[in-house]
Amino acid sequence: MVGALTESEAVCINVINGAHEAEARAVLDPLPHQECITYYEIPTNEPWCRDHGPIFLTRDADSKLTIVDWDYNAWGNKYPPFDFDDVVPTRVGEILDVPVFYPGMILEGGSIEVNGAGALLTTESCLLNPNRNPQCSREQIEQQLRDYLGAGEILWLGPGIAGDDTDGHIDDLARFIDPQTIVVGVEPDKKDPNYHILKENRQRVETLRDQDGQLFRVIEIPMPGVVQHDRQRLPATYLNFYFINKALLVPIYRHKTNDRIALDILQKNLPRHKVIGIDCVELIWGLGAIHCLTQQQPKF
């Protein structure tokens, strides 16, 4: 993953201490483009920086960078302690010397998806879960998203996939690949618990309208089938992809046919990007994949 990233952009890697950095360097130092890799030492509890890390914003008028530091409680108090993770965005703001804003609401980065034009996609099963913000109504949550992320249209889907311990992060279900196009996961096997979950969400996507009141173009992508570890169902999905400047990194799971089908669908619809499959069989054991492990930062 880092090797692909450094082909077109800088990579900032957070480590908890010097020993952790040495362990990372033992793997990454042989890679080319070492000038593109920077290590930062910020203590954390978990590696999933998409969820606890900073969400960066820029202002069109002057390209000024800022950070939004949402509260964090390890996916509904499932995995304490999380005190180190909760302050990571503020620590990053101090290092980069950029302003940090505090909405005072729990939100993980993997629970939201934006099209860059004013529409935000999320799920009721996560953002409306009482283990996140029981004091907030749906309308209050929507207003916070508008106030702190600049979203105009808030779009809601339903439950998450089997094995997902986040209560339904959107980055397992449906993603934008451009402002007018949503890619959705589908499961053809009617016996799979994901079949009805994804069918319901697919039907809801059909009715969604963008910030201008237009229906979205919808593209289906298959699920990779059952991926397990020690008999535990894992939340494997091709939707946990990550855009970089010149490519798209897509998790794959050694499925004989669906890996190639998923990559081909994405490549067909992203002719200006190089679609790269990254084997995530070991990574998904931690219940996350490429999108969960990354967080984009605008150049400033």
DSSP letter (8 states) at residue 93: H
DSSP letter (8 states) at residue 171: G
Q: How many CB atoms lie within 10 A of CB 79?
A: 13
Top CATH class, 42-286: alpha beta
Angle at CA of residue 215, ends 146 and 181, nearest 5° = 80
Please tell me the distance from the alpha carbon of residue 48 to that of residue 157, in angstroms, as a whole number: 23
For the full predicted model, state whether its pTM sits above 0.85: yes
pLDDT digit of tens for each residue in the chain (300 aa)?
999 999 999 999 999 999 999 999 999 999 999 999 999 999 999 999 999 999 999 977 677 999 999 999 999 999 999 999 999 999 999 999 999 999 999 999 999 999 999 999 999 999 999 999 999 999 999 999 999 999 999 999 999 999 999 999 999 999 999 999 999 999 999 999 999 999 999 999 999 999 999 999 999 999 999 999 999 999 999 999 999 998 999 999 999 999 999 999 999 999 999 999 999 999 999 999 999 999 999 887
Please tell me the distance from the alpha carbon of residue 222 to that of residue 187, in angstroms, as a whole number: 6
Structural tokens at position 206: 């059909």
Location of structure tokens 């207003």: 143
Dihedral (Cα; 50, 276, 162, 294), 10-degree rounding = -10
Please tell me the distance from the alpha carbon of residue 168 to that of residue 108, in angstroms, as a whole number: 11
Please tell me the distance from the alpha carbon of residue 65 to that of residue 99, in angstroms, as a whole number: 8
Dihedral (Cα; 173, 176, 182, 183), 10-degree rounding = -50
CATH 3.75.10.10 in the chain is located at 42-286
Half-sphere exposure of 3 (CA within 13 A, CB side): 9
The answer to whether 118 and 150 are in contact (CB under 8 A) is: yes
By annotation, the residues acting in catalysis are: 292
The answer to whether 165 and 108 are in contact (CB under 8 A) is: no
Structural tokens at position 46: 């978990």
Q: Residue 291: name the closest of 234, 250, 252, 246 by CA.
A: 250
